[in-house]
A and B are shown apart, each in its own frame.
Chain A
Amino acid sequence: DAGVIQSPRHEVTEMGQEVTLRCKPISGHDYLFWYRQTMMRGLELLIYFNNNVPIDDSGMPEDRFSAKMPNASFSTLKIQPSEPRDSAVYFCASSLGIGAFFGQGTRLTVV
Chain B
Amino acid sequence: DGGITQSPKYLFRKEGQNVTLSCEQNLNHDAMYWYRQDPGQGLRLIYYSQIVNDFQKGDIAEGYSVSREKKESFPLTVTSAQKNPTAFYLCASSIRPRGFYNEQFFGPGTRLTVL
| A and B part of one assembly | no
Task: Spell out A's residues near B (CB within 8 Å).
Answer: none
